[in-house]
Chains A and B, each alone.
Chain A
Amino acid sequence: DTAVSQTPKYLVTQMGNDKSIKCEQNLGHDTMYWYKQDSKKFLKIMFSYNNKELIINETVPNRFSPKSPDKAHLNLHINSLELGDSAVYFCASSPTPGQGVFGANVLTFGAGSRLTVL
């Protein structure tokens, strides 16, 4: 059983289109994330939800809108796709970040969704 599953694995689309990527985790984790990995392998956090509540929202264009219908699902919808949106998008989950100074926060990642905008 895949712990964090994303669909689709590959997505090729034209500029200006709207697309969605879905993510589901069966680990019972409270927190889910979207990360973007560009062509140079830089990984940048985009969003994080804890129990369906948005807790991290980095400087991401408004064209990106996350939605968490329940704590096991976090979807990413992208409007008006641009060439620069081409990347691999990773979903991840973790237990609620640990409290205190050492705040353990270990992520389990999905396999990624490669988005290519033409």
Chain B
Amino acid sequence: SQQGEEDPQALSIQEGENATMNCSYKTSINNLQWYRQNSGRGLVHLILIRSNEREKHSGRLRVTLDTSKKSSSLLITASRAADTASYFCATVGGATNKLIFGTGTLLAVQP
């Protein structure tokens, strides 16, 4: 079964607005990552947050992690049409540190 559940499944906003996506997971993790997938393309790594970190920034991206609630959020500020893509969280844990992906959020940014 999937490790992570993402919310919302789909999100449509206007250019310039902020987009927030949430991810919940079930078991303990070593780190959590966010990936982006443009239509018809492979996934691209965006940002990684360790289990002992609570917040991390990278450009227009802000990620939070609450291990007590087993949840994370990805905030994209000042969105652009080019941000239109699917966004996946992925948790890393276990002996082999394998990545388990969430269900994804489809973000559409209207110009």
| Residues on B with beta carbons closer than 8 Å to the beta carbon of A117 | none
Contact yes or no, A43 B101, CB < 8 A = yes
Number of residues on chain A facing chain B (CB within 8 A): 27
| Nearest chain B residue, comparing its CB with the CB of A109 | B42
**A16 close to B (CB within 8 Å):** no
Which of B50, B103, B104 has a CB less than 8 Å from the CB of A102? B50
Q: Which of B75-111 contact A (CB under 8 A)?
A: 86, 88, 92-93, 96-101, 103-104, 106
Contact yes or no, A102 B86, CB < 8 A = no
Docked pose: A45 CA to B2 CA in angstroms: 10
Query: Knowing A101-B51, A105-B97 touch, does A41 contact B43 (C-beta < 8 A)?
Result: no
| Residues on A with beta carbons closer than 8 Å to the beta carbon of B20 | none
A40 to chain B: closest CB distance in Å? 8
| Residues on A with beta carbons closer than 8 Å to the beta carbon of B104 | 41-43
Contact yes or no, A56 B31, CB < 8 A = no
Q: How many A-B residue pairs have CB under 8 A?
A: 73
| Residues on A with beta carbons closer than 8 Å to the beta carbon of B40 | 112
Q: Which of A4, A41, A105 has the most CB of B within 10 A?
A: A105
Which 5 residue pairs of A and B lie closest in terms of their CB atoms, listed nearest first?
A109-B42, A97-B97, A43-B101, A103-B30, A103-B97
**A111 close to B (CB within 8 Å):** yes
Query: Knowing A43-B88, A101-B51 touch, does A107 contact B99 (C-beta < 8 A)?
Result: yes
| Residues on B with beta carbons closer than 8 Å to the beta carbon of A97 | 92, 96-97
Contact yes or no, B48 A101, CB < 8 A = no
Docked pose: A91 CA to B52 CA in angstroms: 30
